[in-house]
Structure 1
Amino acid sequence: MKKQEIIEFTTADAIVKELVRAGVEAAFGVVSIHNMPIYDAILREGSIKLICSRGESGAVNMADGYARATGKLGVVITSTGTGAGNAAGSLVEAWSAGVPLLHLTGEVASAYLGTGRGYIHECKDQLSMMSGACKKAVQLRNPEQTASVVRKVIKEALTAPMGPVSLEIPIDFQSAIIEDLSIEEVQLVASQSSLAALIPEQAVTKIIEASRPVIWAGGGVISANASKELQKLAEMLGAAVITSQSGKGSIPEDHKQCIGHFMAYESTREFLRNADLLISVGVRFRGNETSNWKAVVPEEHIAIDADLQAINRNYKATFGLVGDAKEMLKALIQKLEEKSVSPVSTYIEEIGSLRNEVRGKLRKTLGPYEQFVDGMRDILPRDTILVRDVTVQANVWGSRLFEIYEPRTSIHASGGGIGQGLPTAIGAQIGCQDQTVVLMAGDGGFMLNVGEMVTAAEEKLPLIIVLFDDSGYGVLRNIQEAAYGRQVAVDLLSPDFVKLAQSMHFDAVRIGSGDEFVNELKKAQERRNPSMIVVDMEAVGPMAKPFGGPPGAAEAFKPKKR
């Protein structure tokens, strides 16, 4: 009879124990000689699902998409040096989007750290590289402190402003035998009444007196699970709701008071200029959404944000309310319920007029693609998760006209990098197996992580990819043409995407009209297998108005005197 193997408790086991304690159910990554002890500990523990990506960059995006779609901590495991470096770009995206993500990476043996002696996978200064890509980077220096360090970095990732945290563990530490110690914490939670008492009466008075209030909802609403509270506040006040790209889904986009992600439109900016109060909730006021902060906000501005440093960073706040958006909105609603608040009916009608105006104006630019957006919204379930890579169709109508009804069902590249959509969609589908996940991507960006199609097939994911193929970088083509009247480095040779997808175990088809697209989307939705619809953009035909990039993009690149 084979003698039962006795497994000693190691640093790797302590890491996994803390992951399980934090409720981690899935981890993404690439196995390596510099993380094998962690992988083995996950295998032995047995409750965490391991998803094997084809590259570290894709693994981070998968953990990112998983976290955004589920609201849970994303976990990614990579190797040392080059492996960690491959992860850096995708970690920047997670940082830009404020995604709670734990990056576990190996390091060279502790005796060789910083020596430059050529230990395999050595990086000159890996900790600094990770620090530049993340919210924070930490190196484990004492195996006996593993549990406390892992718990601390998980808290750091989940504490506003949320973001990716990298923890590097030297390979000799990962197998170090340590004591299995217990750490207990006591937490104090503020009561709702105590929070309400902290809201200044002057701020409440400003809200009650406002006749043209606007709420600007950002990603902080989604992160705090504060959508119900935001909608209740909007309805109490009769306020217009503008959303940032990250804030889509913070209020159903078929709500009569939702203007949506249309701040790029002059009519929306004029509407905001004429408002007498702005309540911003979890908004970063990004440069590309405010024309590099040229958009004008009302003088009276109540800013709600969990990040103390966000207050007055881009726009002055009359009152800054710092705290979790859900709790702060609850407290504010409690204060308002004690008063008399009456929405102005004529103002709500004005909101509806603006809502219809901006949507109608955009629709006139779509040409044949109007059938695409309508077909998608008619066919796909209300809780479909729409992931958008950087491509013309996603920028023009995918981020505006495809209505989002629930939080965590709109995912986009916050940092503007191309090619991250596929693995991000895979992570979202892993986290939400029963929901439909659709990726909108362009051929240029798609090729950056095309190998991750195999990961989707291996996991038997019912992911639907809508690939817009114009054999090049369409956004840059249009910007170059407008700025210079010529194009360079934007034309690309496309592979036969249908054969490529089929070789990676996807059902795939190429279409050249709106009718074909609608029919094939219905089939893909029904079969619940990995599916790709390749849109032949030359066959479909051009948009009624070419997309020239974000407002002012072409002008910014024209030669000018200093």
Structure 2
Amino acid sequence: MNTQENTYTVADAIVEELVQAGVEVVFGIVSIHNMPIYDAIHRDGRIHPVTARGESGAVNMADGYARATGKLGVVITSTGTGAGNAAGSLVEAWSAGVPLLHITGEVDSSYIGTGRGYIHEMKDQLQMMEGCSKLALELKRPDQASAFTRKAIEEANAAPTGPVTIQIPINYQSAIIPKSVSLIDVEKISSCCSKHVHLPQEVIEELTNATRPIIWAGGGVISAEASDEVTKLAELLGAAVITSQSGKGSIPEDHPLCIGHFASYQQVRNLVQKADLVLSIGVRFRSNETANWKIQIECKHINIDVDYLAFNRNYPVAHSLIGDAKQIVKAILHKIKKEELSTSTAYQAEVTSVREEIRTQLRVTLGPYEQFVEGMRRVLPKDTILVRDVTVPANVWGSRLFEIYEPRTSIHASGGGIGQGLPTAIGAQMGRKDRTVVLMAGDGGFMVNVGEMVTASQESLPLIVVLFDDSGYGVLRNIQDAAYGRQVAVDLLSPDFVQLGQAMGYEAKRIGDATAFISELETAINRKKPSIIVVDMEAVGPMAKPFGGPPGAAEAFRPKKLS
């Protein structure tokens, strides 16, 4: 902390609030429009700054850190172009509901909105930030810096969580303020803190009487730390558990009741069609996970969500229980009497049969890659954090067949943007240095933020990158083939990724078969240094069945008349 009372600044007040909120790491890019904040961090000494190579990657790092740890992610960027570079990654954090604080500079307060050409000036930065954040705020009075920052942190952590941007004009950052008006002591009183949960008797009766119940678990289960409770409820009800992409880890994926992230498969759609009750918990029912909402929920639908706007958002709801999923599920467990339940062992056997059938169906499409997924799961620790960029192997089997056993060990782009995997994995590894972190990426997406490789080296992070190199945008190739019978703008010139990795401080090797891959993966786990394994997809060979993208993707791009 700055010990000179007469030079306590807005930047010092911001850093003090971060420390009080338990922040230990911030990610970002230093700039002439945030330098006072960085200097305050340095003088204080309690927060470690991680320097990214671009604002986009810095936001992804804070995002990955938050997802892997459950803590607040913090990122600092510059003004104008710097804030704009952050916008796309903030959209991802917003889409995934990640608690994240984005601190950005702004031009001198007297020049905001004047269009006079102040360096880094843009027309309306706050509006841009509002569009990609849960909330965007601008500091108007320097002596409110502490309360302003605390409010932003509370908003980021308040359910439904999401990224909050605060922008601080550069002339305010170094403004001297009285320390006495900065160090606030607030006792917040809220009527929402009670853990008492009122459950309508009708809800308990419907859960008790269901003969073919399904639990649909989303990222809200992970955020609420309700995985143990949801697993117990599934076992009590004998319910099938479908998970969204974000909900992987809500229940151990080797559990016989866990269907997993297979909702679009026909066998699972049939199971939903025959269900007499669906209990959805913290799930958004995204378009690509429900075949653009063609999956039908025609039975009783009970919804648990912390967000009021989840009510009837994508599927009609008979009962909506708004609040903390952990407490609500606990209350349900307390109310339901096992001896009164209506599910049968025959239904549970059917669920297990569907679970095995869809996995077998997917495995036969993989060709030589079946050995990859089996080998990865065999040699990697059970608590490995698997981060996946948008690429064919990740979409097809990394997000489905690689089993996840606990929360916060599965991270994927909820918004569907490519190239965010590398910095997200760096953030996850920064937050969990005690864990093995593996990134699955394709060459096309990897090049978007390739400079961030050096960030992992500089921080001495033992990140393992598994890079699937097919010299192109593989997902789009397959969709174009299916939609048009031809390809355009999808072929890419790959650099020598081994030499690139070595230049960036990584142990690097190119392999062309599953046996060599598993051997190199085991070596990478044990070396505890940044590693990149380049999978030569041409040498490995094609999958037995090409991946055509999400259900209905090709059809959506064929010429047609609008109705």
Contact 1:506-1:531 at 8 Å conserved across structures: yes
1:161 aligns with 2:160: yes
- What is the CA-CA distance between 1:183 and the residue it aligns to? 2.5
Provide the secondary structure at the position in 2 that maps to 1:119: coil
1:299 aligns with 2:299: yes
> Counterpart in 2 of 1:184?
186
- What is the CA-CA distance between 1:7 and the residue it aligns to? 6.0
CA distance in 2, matches of 1:542, 1:338: 49
Structure 1 residues 279 and 129: CA distance shift in structure 2, 3 A? same
CA distance in 2, matches of 1:430, 1:250: 23
- 1:540-559 residue pairs with structure 2 within 5 A? 540-559=540-559
> Counterpart in 2 of 1:448?
448
- What is the CA-CA distance between 1:338 and the residue it aligns to? 8.8
CA distance in 2, matches of 1:557, 1:152: 44
> Counterpart in 1 of 2:114?
115
- What is the CA-CA distance between 1:560 and the residue it aligns to? 1.2
Matched to 2:186, the amino acid is: E
CA distance in 2, matches of 1:520, 1:7: 58
> Counterpart in 2 of 1:371?
371
- 1:523-542 residue pairs with structure 2 within 5 A? 523-542=523-542
Contact 2:139-2:169 at 8 Å conserved across structures: yes
1:477 aligns with 2:480: no
> Counterpart in 1 of 2:349?
349
CA distance in 2, matches of 1:245, 1:84: 29
Provide the secondary structure at the position in 2 that maps to 1:50: strand
Contact 1:148-1:183 at 8 Å conserved across structures: no
Contact 2:74-2:100 at 8 Å conserved across structures: yes
Contact 2:264-2:295 at 8 Å conserved across structures: no
CA distance in 2, matches of 1:184, 1:342: 50
Matched to 2:298, the amino acid is: P
Post-superposition CA distance 1:307-338 (Å, at most 9, x none): 00111111011000000111111122122159
Contact 1:278-1:298 at 8 Å conserved across structures: no
Contact 1:236-1:342 at 8 Å conserved across structures: no
- Unaligned 5+ runs, structure 1: none
Provide the secondary structure at the position in 2 that maps to 1:501: helix
Provide the secondary structure at the position in 1 that maps to 2:136: strand
> Counterpart in 2 of 1:25?
24
CA distance in 2, matches of 1:321, 1:523: 48
Contact 2:384-2:409 at 8 Å conserved across structures: yes
Post-superposition CA distance 1:410-450 (Å, at most 9, x none): 00011110000000000000000010000000000100000
C-alpha RMSD of matched pairs (Å): 1.3
Matched to 2:502, the amino acid is: Q
Provide the secondary structure at the position in 2 that maps to 1:161: coil
CA distance in 2, matches of 1:5, 1:35: 21
Most deviating of 223-232 and 422-431: 223-232
- What is the CA-CA distance between 1:22 and the residue it aligns to? 1.0
Post-superposition CA distance 1:505-539 (Å, at most 9, x none): 00000000011101100100110110000000000
> Counterpart in 1 of 2:457?
457
Provide the secondary structure at the position in 1 that maps to 2:340: coil
Post-superposition CA distance 1:157-186 (Å, at most 9, x none): 111221111000001111111123323123
- Unaligned 5+ runs, structure 2: none
1:214 aligns with 2:218: no
| Matched-pair identity in % | 68
> Counterpart in 1 of 2:322?
322
> Counterpart in 1 of 2:59?
60
- 1:496-515 residue pairs with structure 2 within 5 A? 496-515=496-515
Provide the secondary structure at the position in 2 that maps to 1:225: coil
Contact 1:192-1:331 at 8 Å conserved across structures: no
Post-superposition CA distance 1:116-169 (Å, at most 9, x none): 111111111000111111111110101111111111111111112211110000
> Counterpart in 2 of 1:97?
96
TM-score, length-scaled by structure 1: 0.97
TM-score, length-scaled by structure 2: 0.97
1:137 aligns with 2:136: yes
CA distance in 1, matches of 2:195, 2:366: 50
> Counterpart in 1 of 2:37?
38
Provide the secondary structure at the position in 1 that maps to 2:50: strand
